[in-house]
Structure 1
């Protein structure tokens, strides 16, 4: 009889690790003045990026419909994280851009992730954490910022 964990446990443990990090991130973001952000908002704001994007392109990047992307844009706009502006190249197009508040949330997130990684290094040992990261790089695609997870899950 094998002492290995059942095969289904691996994806669940990976998902739980992700969930622990994201829950801790959002708890800290709330303490730092961003209580309304939700995990999906991070995917959306990363997909908008510094240059901005359209609702159509955002939907394509996230793997969701233009309508789903538009609904999320409206929510983030109400919260003050994004704004819609006219595309100077084509006045019929609206460009979604991060506001100062949106950029602040992303910058804070990056710092919080560094702190969380340090805590994991303290718990697991820095060498062990680096080994886990190296092993995950071997079995995952090289594109770190694959943002179509919302569409893959089927909801936004």
Structure 2
């Protein structure tokens, strides 16, 4: 049996994780586009998904998302140009900068939280609330680093 045939029959964790991620991203960014945020792309999630409302240092965004600082810097530049975030001095350390969501960024954050909750609600409905809660806990434990 060819490897590709085996993978179709019993996909490994990497394939399943990728399928789940890509399906989630497709739905998330399609819904965001319909709700007034058509300029966002999945790569922007490396910043927006980990951004605190009061602001977050780029180094913390890098650590939380697993992306290199240079990648985060590029994404912050893009999101600044699109009007989602701005850089401000960190009141705790004037040498550092915080990435802070603008009103447009806060709107996106609220909408994406609601979209994610709806996606999860539908997934839980498919397999049962208890099974889904257990799945999320196991998945979280497997991905905690």
The CA deviation at 1:96 is: 1.0
Higher relative contact order, chain-length normalized (CA < 8 Å, sep 6+): 1
Moved more, 91-100 or 109-118: 109-118
Structure 1: segments with no counterpart, 5+ residues: 149-156
Pairing partner for 1:51 from 30, 50, 54: 54
Partner of 1:154: none
SS of the counterpart of 1:42? helix
The CA deviation at 1:106 is: 1.2
The 1:54/1:9 distance shift into structure 2, 3 A limit, reads closer
Contact 2:46 2:72 in 1 (8 A): no
Pairing partner for 1:90 from 89, 93, 99: 93
Task: Tell me whether 1:129 sits opposite 2:128 in the alignment.
Answer: yes
Equivalent residue runs for 1:94-109 within 5 Å: 94-109=97-112
The 1:36/1:132 distance shift into structure 2, 3 A limit, reads farther
Structure 2: segments with no counterpart, 5+ residues: 1-7
The CA deviation at 1:7 is: 4.3
Partner of 2:32: 29
Moved more, 65-74 or 11-20: 11-20
Contact 2:90 2:97 in 1 (8 A): yes
SS of the counterpart of 1:28? helix
Moved more, 111-120 or 35-44: 111-120
The CA deviation at 1:118 is: 4.1
SS of the counterpart of 1:13? helix
**TM-score computed with the length of structure 1 as normaliser:** 0.71
Question: In structure 2, what is the Cα distance between the partners aligned to 1:59 and 1:117?
Answer: 26
Task: Tell me whether 1:77 sits opposite 2:80 in the alignment.
Answer: yes
